[in-house]
């Protein structure tokens, strides 16, 4: 059955072709060889059919058997060369196409790694994954098949029409008329079919999304007795998909039978008229035989030519979306200050070293040589202004400080700006006003990779990767030994549950840790942060999914871990931050209060209301 491609036409096909040509340019030799072999294969097909005329007229009709044997042998050699060329270009094109696609995929992933979080915030995961799957597949399909089939079909169609005219110009008028009729039908049928295929894809996406939501939300569905209503909604979407699919398949199913039927009629009419021409002495039997074989073969390359044009447009559309993603602006990173390991000398000075010493420093370029600034964990905000979207401020003139070794806790309502402050320390987003300093250095002067190596973050929504538990904890510091990983797990109180698993630390995690409870996943995230041994810890609701008993045990381990380190904590459970050096109450993008637990209670302000239950966190 013919396959119809559904696509949106590229906005700028020429620009996309030029961009794609850069990738093809690295394989010019292989592609040129492919093109030559495709042309040879197509010409061998056309020439072999034409040679039926002299074989019949010069050898079969006169009864020249030796001559016939030589002619057949020559044709066999020619067809053999064509077959070898077909095998050669297929194998070479597959290898070349995979190299090109691998390069495109690699460049796309490399660009994705450099994009700011704001880009991902504005797009769904499915939309982003579509570039790596559907769009890449469309380009792969075009390179694997369309490139060669377009050349071959063009050669065969052009050669066939030329040979038909050469063999019998008057009889060719019938064939050309039928070919025009076939082409008109193919274009009309393809246009109508694509409309319904587009509708089918839209309805399929809607149905798949609905099924995914229902499967993921089975507990909620059953608790609220929504099975019947959800089944009715499923039936409605399924029926819409059935109708669109029926029409799409109907048009696709009409393509081949109609074209084949027209080719049969074309063949029959050409044979009858050609027979009359032979009887009238207008043409010879050899020419008619060769002519009728060309007529029989003419429909398929024409059909292939139009279909491959559709595949090519689909590939260009996919390539355009891929290149648009590659053209997105990467994270702004103009920093030149790097993080280096240092050794403390006897005179108190620092020397850069390649060995791990547990000490780090900021290496600041200077005219008279690099200057080393000890990494202490002193973080300060100076009148910081920030908003995720233009014109809407989340933080408005925020100033705060965290001295080395201090534990700073943020409390406040949802949406007050607590997590935003954390996101700015990690420089996931760029501030619009004010400045942030780290050990006296403007955060924008520090290279992002080095900045983030000095931090360790545990967020509420943990993410685990496919791999063993040992590998997931080691993700915090790839050079950590097994003993260091296990020590971090004990510190996070995760060691006991890990050892109860069937394969202990070698237990595989898949599906973001679906085989673990939310609390266990959070314990692993804390262990992952602990093994990194950074000077600054950030805990964003890190113990929200852990029971109070486990939370106390983890707290004891974290107290040891955080000793001498700067720590930022966001918590809804206020009793967990009573021992913090400073508690900051954040409301409406501003710091409303700052002080220790006892100091804030004495002020009898917002924190007092929250802690005593007079006001609830929202």
CB atoms within 10 A of CB 55: 19
Q: What is the pLDDT of residues 11-43, one digit of tens each?
A: 777 888 888 889 988 899 999 999 999 999 989
Asked whether residue 6 is assigned to any structural domain, the reply reads no
- How far is the C-alpha of 494 from the C-alpha of 73, rounded, in Å? 78
**DSSP 8-state assignment for residue 598:** H
Asked whether residue 4 is assigned to any structural domain, the reply reads no
3: pLDDT strictly greater than 50 = no
Asked whether residue 2 is assigned to any structural domain, the reply reads no
The single residue listed with the structure tokens 């939310």 is: 518
**DSSP 8-state assignment for residue 411:** E
Asked whether residue 5 is assigned to any structural domain, the reply reads no
CATH number of the domain that 497 lies in?
A: 3.40.50.300
405: left (phi over 0), alpha (psi -120 to 50) or beta: left
Query: Is residue 317 classed exposed, middle or buried when 0-12, 13-18 and 19+ CB atoms within 10 A define those classes?
Result: buried
Question: Do 274 and 393 sit in the same domain of this protein?
Answer: no
Question: Do 451 and 313 sit in the same domain of this protein?
Answer: no
Question: Do 99 and 241 sit in the same domain of this protein?
Answer: yes
Helix axes 482-491, 548-561, angle to 10 degrees: 130
pLDDT at 179: 79
Query: Are the C-beta atoms of residues 565 and 574 closer than 8 Å to each other?
Result: no
Asked whether residue 225 is assigned to any structural domain, the reply reads yes
Query: Are the C-beta atoms of residues 98 and 410 closer than 8 Å to each other?
Result: no
Instruction: Indicate the pairing of strand 508-509 with strand 441-442.
Output: unpaired
- How far is the C-alpha of 564 from the C-alpha of 5, rounded, in Å? 62
SS (H, E, C) 420-479: HHHHHHCCCCCCCEEEEEECCEEHHHECHHHHHHCEEEECCCCCCCCEEHHHHHHCCCCC
Q: How many structural domains compose the chain? A: 3
- How far is the C-alpha of 437 from the C-alpha of 558, rounded, in Å? 26
Query: Are the C-beta atoms of residues 383 and 434 closer than 8 Å to each other?
Result: yes
Helices (H), 537-580: 548-561
2: pLDDT strictly greater than 60 = no
Query: Is residue 453 classed exposed, middle or buried when 0-12, 13-18 and 19+ CB atoms within 10 A define those classes?
Result: middle
CA distances from 519 to 120, 250, 414, 492, 544 (A): 27, 53, 22, 12, 8
Band of pLDDT at residue 444, cut at 50, 70 and 90: very high
* Mean pLDDT computed over 209-214: 78
Question: Do 388 and 246 sit in the same domain of this protein?
Answer: no
Question: Do 43 and 93 sit in the same domain of this protein?
Answer: yes
Query: What is the residue range of 359's domain?
Result: 338-374
Band of pLDDT at residue 573, cut at 50, 70 and 90: confident
Question: Do 196 and 115 sit in the same domain of this protein?
Answer: yes
Question: Do 304 and 359 sit in the same domain of this protein?
Answer: no
Question: Do 317 and 384 sit in the same domain of this protein?
Answer: no
Angle at 140 between CA 134 and CA 142, to 5 degrees: 105
Question: Do 482 and 512 sit in the same domain of this protein?
Answer: yes
**Which of residues 4 and 394 earns the better pLDDT score?**
394
Asked whether residue 204 is assigned to any structural domain, the reply reads yes
Asked whether residue 159 is assigned to any structural domain, the reply reads yes
Strand partners, 435: 382
Question: What is the per-residue DSSP string for 473-522?
Answer: HHTT-TT--HHHHHHHHHHTT-HHHHHHSTTGGG-EE-TTTTTS-HHHHH
* Mean pLDDT computed over 390-417: 87
Band of pLDDT at residue 330, cut at 50, 70 and 90: confident
Average per-residue pLDDT for the chain: 83
* Mean pLDDT computed over 573-581: 82
Question: Do 348 and 405 sit in the same domain of this protein?
Answer: no
CATH number of the domain that 129 lies in?
A: 1.20.1560.10
pLDDT at 207: 83
Tell me which range, 215-219, 309-313, 422-426, 570-574, is most confidently predicted by mean pLDDT: 422-426
* Mean pLDDT computed over 43-65: 86
Question: Do 318 and 389 sit in the same domain of this protein?
Answer: no
Asked whether residue 545 is assigned to any structural domain, the reply reads yes
Question: How many CA atoms lie within 13 Å of 308's alpha carbon, on the beta-carbon side?
Answer: 19
- How far is the C-alpha of 602 from the C-alpha of 607, rounded, in Å? 10
Question: Do 363 and 280 sit in the same domain of this protein?
Answer: no
pTM over 0.75: no
């Amino acid at each position: 059955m013919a396959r119809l491609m559904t696509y949106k036409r590229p906005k700028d096909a020429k620009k996309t072709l030029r961009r794609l040509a850069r990738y093809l340019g690295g394989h010019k030799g292989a592609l040129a060889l492919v093109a030559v072999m495709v042309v040879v294969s197509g010409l061998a097909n056309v020439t072999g059919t034409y040679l039926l005329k002299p074989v019949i007229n010069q050898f079969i009709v006169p009864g020249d058997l030796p001559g016939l044997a030589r002619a057949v042998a020559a044709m066999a050699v020619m067809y053999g060369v064509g077959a070898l060329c077909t095998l050669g270009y297929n194998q070479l094109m597959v290898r070349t196409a995979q190299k090109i696609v691998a390069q495109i995929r690699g460049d796309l992933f490399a660009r994705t790694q450099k994009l700011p979080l704001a880009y991902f915030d504005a797009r769904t995961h499915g939309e982003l994954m579509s570039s790596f799957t559907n769009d890449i597949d469309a380009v792969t399909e075009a390179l694997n098949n369309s490139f060669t089939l377009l050349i071959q079909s063009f050669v065969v169609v052009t050669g066939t029409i030329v040979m038909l005219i050469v063999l019998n110009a008057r009889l060719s008028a019938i064939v050309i008329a039928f070919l025009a009729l076939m082409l008109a039908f193919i274009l009309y049928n393809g246009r109508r079919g694509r409309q319904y295929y587009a509708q089918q894809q839209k309805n399929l996406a809607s149905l798949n999304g609905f099924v995914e939501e229902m499967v993921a939300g089975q507990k909620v569905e059953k608790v609220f007795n929504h099975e019947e209503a959800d089944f009715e909604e499923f039936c409605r979407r399924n029926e819409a998909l059935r109708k669109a699919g029926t029409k799409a398949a109907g048009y696709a199913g009409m393509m081949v039978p109609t074209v084949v039927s027209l080719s049969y009629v074309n063949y029959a009419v050409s044979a009858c008229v050609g027979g009359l021409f032979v009887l009238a002495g207008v043409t010879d039997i050899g020419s008619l035989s060769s002519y009728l074989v060309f007529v029989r073969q003419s429909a398929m390359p024409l059909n292939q030519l139009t279909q491959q044009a559709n595949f090519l447009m689909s590939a260009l559309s996919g390539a355009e979306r891929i290149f648009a993603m590659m053209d997105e602006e990467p994270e702004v990173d103009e920093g030149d200050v790097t993080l280096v390991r240092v050794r403390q000398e006897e005179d108190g000075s620092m020397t850069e070293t390649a060995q791990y010493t547990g000490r780090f420093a900021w290496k600041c370029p200077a005219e008279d040589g690099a200057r080393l600034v000890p990494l202490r964990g002193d973080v300060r905000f100076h009148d910081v202004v920030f908003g995720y979207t233009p014109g809407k401020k989340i933080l408005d003139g925020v100033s705060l400080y965290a001295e080395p070794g201090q534990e700073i806790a943020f409390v406040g309502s949802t949406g007050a700006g607590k997590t935003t402050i954390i996101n700015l320390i990690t420089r996931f987003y760029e501030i619009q006003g004010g400045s942030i300093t780290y050990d006296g250095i403007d955060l924008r002067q520090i290279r992002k990779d080095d900045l983030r190596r000095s931090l360790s973050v545990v967020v509420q929504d943990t993410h685990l990767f496919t791999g063993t538990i040992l590998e997931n904890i080691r993700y915090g510091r790839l050079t950590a030994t097994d003993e260091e990983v296990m020590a971090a797990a004990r510190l996070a109180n995760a060691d006991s549950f890990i050892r109860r698993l069937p394969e202990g630390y070698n237990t595989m995690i898949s599906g973001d840790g679906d085989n673990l409870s939310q609390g266990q996943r959070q314990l692993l995230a804390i262990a992952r942060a602990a093994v990194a041994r950074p000077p600054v810890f950030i805990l964003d609701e890190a113990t929200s999914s852990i029971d109070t008993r486990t939370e106390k045990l983890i707290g004891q381990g974290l107290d040891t871990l955080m000793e001498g380190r700067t720590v930022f904590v966001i918590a809804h459970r206020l009793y967990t931050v009573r021992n913090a050096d400073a508690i900051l109450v954040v409301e409406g993008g501003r710091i409303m209060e700052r002080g220790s637990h006892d100091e804030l209670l004495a002020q009898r302000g917002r924190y007092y209301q929250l802690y005593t239950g007079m006001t609830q966190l929202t």
